[in-house]
Structure 1
Amino acid sequence: MRKRHHNILIIILVVLFILLGIPTYYIFSVDTSTVYSEPKYVEIPSGATTTEVVNILTESRILKHPTTFIFLVRFTGMHKKIRAGRFKFERPVSVMKLVRILTRGGSFDIKITIPEGYTIYNIAGLLHRELGIDSVSFLASCKDSAVLNKLNIPGPTAEGFLFPETYSIPKEISPDSIISIMFNEFQRRWTDEYQVRADSLGFSKLEIITLASIIEAEAHQKEEQTIISSVYHNRIKLNMLLQADPTTIYGLRKFDKPLILTDLDDDSPYNTYRHAGLPPGPICNPGEDAIYAALYPDSTDYLYFVSRRDGTHIFSKTIQQHHRAIQTVKKLMRNKSQP
């Protein structure tokens, strides 16, 4: 009988050790000798639940022991004291220190909105105006193969993969870190469904984002994006030149000047009047609607479109219809110019 009681006591002690000893070890223990290659930033939104906080910290690889974290904050009641804000981590921290950091609150940094269709050149100017970040350094990072390889950005530059969104960005942040934040948001938006759809169309992720960027640049009305997408899909299937003005403009960097006839002879790989297929990479950073349009075009026979100069387009199936549409637009412009 005594032996049986002794065995039960041992089992109870082992269970207590597991329940209390191991969490205690993880609460206080951490390898502080490690330094992250670049600071990690996480943002805890206002009103976030404990589960949401844990998910954010785990996905950012700040928290390795979520069960221990939940045990600690609920046992101590600290889950009610976690504050919203942006938090910077330069090295691993123990669960205990992590809780202390979160309950002190983070910094509410400058909010910057990247509009849909912005190029890396637009973003560089915006970051310089809002954060004082050197535009040349940012553009250099966008084109740095080491940065692109580290983040697994598939394009020749970061163009197309800096997702248009509103970000909270601290003043003291490197260009590489900004690119990482914006690309992580892109990765979050690029779902498994999107990848499966791209594969079924026979397009790579880079090709879809490149096409989406052209759609973003061409379409001024959201409802026309899937129609414009159908035009380019149809042209690609027929091995026709895309003849997209925005790609040629991007290759020439003539962002503030209209194209002239001689520009169409430029040998840039982005000149889709001379080179078949898609250009080497995106020409801007498309939003989610444009990405969706590239993946799910309308089913049409359209091969041409011309702008009405009011944000909408006339779509045509044949070159003859297209020429008539051009004449219609010219007539509209003449009528508008007359007193």
Structure 2
Amino acid sequence: MKEFFEVHRRLVIFAGVPFVFVLAVCTWLFWWPNPSAGPDGTTVSIPRGASFSVALDSLDAAGAISSRFTLKVAARIFGYDRMVRVGRYHFPPGMSNLAMLEDLASGSSRVLIAVPIPEGWRMEYIAKRFERFLSVDSAKIVSMCRDSGVIRGFGIDAPTLEGYLLPDTYEFYWQTDEDQIIRTMVNAFKAFYVDSLVRRQQELRLTLNETLALAAIVEGESSLDAERSTIAGVYWNRLKKRMRLEADPTVQYVLPDGPRRLLYEDLRFLSPYNTYLHYGLPPGPISNPGRGSILAALYPEDHTYLFFVATGAGGHRFSRTYAEHLQAVRTFRRVRRQMQMQAANQTS
């Protein structure tokens, strides 16, 4: 009987040792927790077109894994070495190889990056901001915004997408495709520009491009919500009287070294966008206006003002006659001189 139990014990040990060994290896390969570069986890960027080997280099360099070998073996066993999604990942502390591989394949730990786009920015500036935040190609974004095929694909009748990239704070994954960025911004504009706004535009006998051209001028003139509709009303009054708009932002738009303080000679700069030289609205938007300026262009304030000038305190003074306007200009210049003298005294 003792011999039977001894043989049985040896068989159990003989069979159990390989089982424990296999279990230990599997734990080591698949489930053993990885280290973390910090108490909150590790952030790793996987660029476009990265092979699994490149992704492995990024993970190793960031200190997100304990062993390149074990992660590589685990990936080959489960086929994850052909399933890596681009993006910036944040892995929590103690993540196992298997969980990390599943994450790289699904992208579930990718970080959404908030990209704020200010109102009144041109598409070149917008493209540069996306390049800075998302490491995308700004030149490609601008090129696509000027591509007639891309523009027609959105059902837009305009030479570029300037004016149709709605300012807002957007969330994208790192290195999102450039066409997806553009599509998101244009679709945001379309979602905002509902049927009631289209009907209002038609009541005013404007095209969409003309509406955005006026809105962009309003955007360039003031950042104060309380003034937008008043400024829009000034330009509407000038249009009705067949007066040139004489809008400074349209000159700033075409200056090679702008935007900067305008000189009198700049007002003679030859361009179809220069509303000091040409009557009516410019050929298209000079920037991408925000919701407030678009609504102001469609619902201008009803008044008789024809002129306005800065007050020097952040707002504008509106005038009905040219004589009133000249007086307001003189007041502004006096205030500006006083502010310059105060600034000089503070620095001296």
TM-score class, shorter: 0.5 to 0.7
Aligned residue type for 1:227: T
Q: In 2, distance between residues paired with 1:125 and 1:265?
A: 30
Other-structure match for 1:308: 311
| SS, match of residue 309 in structure 2 | strand
- How does 1:86-235 map onto structure 2 within 5 Å? 107-235=110-238
Q: Which amino acid aligns with 2:123?
A: I
The structural deviation recorded for 1:253 is 4.2
TM-score, length-normalised on structure 1?
0.67
RMSD: 1.9
The one-letter amino acid paired with 2:172 is I
1:324 aligns with 2:323: no
Structure 1 Cα separation of the partners of residues 176 and 107 of structure 2: 21
Provide the residue aligned with 1:9 in structure 2: none
Q: Which runs of 5+ in 1 are unaligned?
A: 1-85, 87-102
Determine which structure has more spread, i.e. the larger CA radius of gyration.
2
2:261 to 244, 258, 261: 258
Q: Secondary structure at the match of 1:167?
A: strand
Return the alpha-carbon distance in structure 2 between the equivalents of residues 116 and 104 of structure 1. 32
Please point out which of 255, 277, 281 is paired with 1:274: 277
Counterpart-to-counterpart distance in 1, 2:339 and 2:142: 41
Contact 1:242 1:272 in 2 (8 A): yes
CA contact (8 A) 2:232 2:301 kept: yes
Q: 1:325 corresponds to which letter in structure 2?
A: A
Identity, % of aligned pairs?
39
Alignment counterpart, residue 300 of structure 2, candidates 297, 300, 317: 297
- Report SS of the residue matched to 2:115: strand
Q: Does structure 2 retain, via aligned residues, the 8 Å contact 1:111–1:167?
A: yes
Q: State the partner residue of 2:42.
A: none
- Amino acid in the other structure paired with 1:115: P
Paired positions, count: 238
Amino acid at match of 2:146: K
Report SS of the residue matched to 1:231. helix
Q: Which one-letter code corresponds to 1:267 in the other structure? A: L
Contact 2:213 2:284 (8 Å CA) reproduced: yes
Partner Cα distance (1:157, 1:131) in 2: 23
Q: Distance in 2 between matches of 1:310 and 1:118?
A: 23
Specify the alignment match of 1:34 in structure 2.
Answer: none
Whole-angstrom CA distance in 1 between matches of 2:258 and 2:154: 28
Structure 2 CA distance, aligned partners of 1:111 and 1:337? 38
For 1:255 and 1:128, locate their aligned partners in 2 and report how far apart those are by CA, in whole Å: 22
Cα distance in 2, alignment partners of residues 202 and 106 from structure 1: 50
Q: Summarize deviations over 1:138-176 as a string: whole Å, max 9, x none.
A: 111111111111112232211111011111112233322
**Cα shift readout 1:79-112 (whole Å, capped 9, x = no counterpart):** xxxxxxx9xxxxxxxxxxxxxxxx9958442221
State how far apart, in whole Å, the 1-side matches of 2:183 and 2:191 are: 12
- Give the equivalent residue in structure 2 for 1:244: 247
Could you say if the C-alpha distance between residues 336 and 166 of structure 1 is closer, same or farther in structure 2, counting changes exceeding 3 Å? closer
Which runs of 5 or more residues in structure 2 are unaligned?
Answer: 1-86, 88-105, 343-348
2:44 is matched with none
Which amino acid in 1 is paired with 2:291?
Answer: E
Q: Deviations over 1:226-247 (max 9, x none)?
A: 1000000101111111100101
Asked whether the 8 Å contact 1:156–1:280 carries over to 2, the reply is no
8 Å contact 2:111–2:174 — kept in the other structure?
no
Q: Whole-Å Cα distance in 2 between the matches of residues 226 and 299 of structure 1?
A: 9
Does 1:287 find its partner at 2:281?
no
SS of the residue 1:297 aligns to: coil
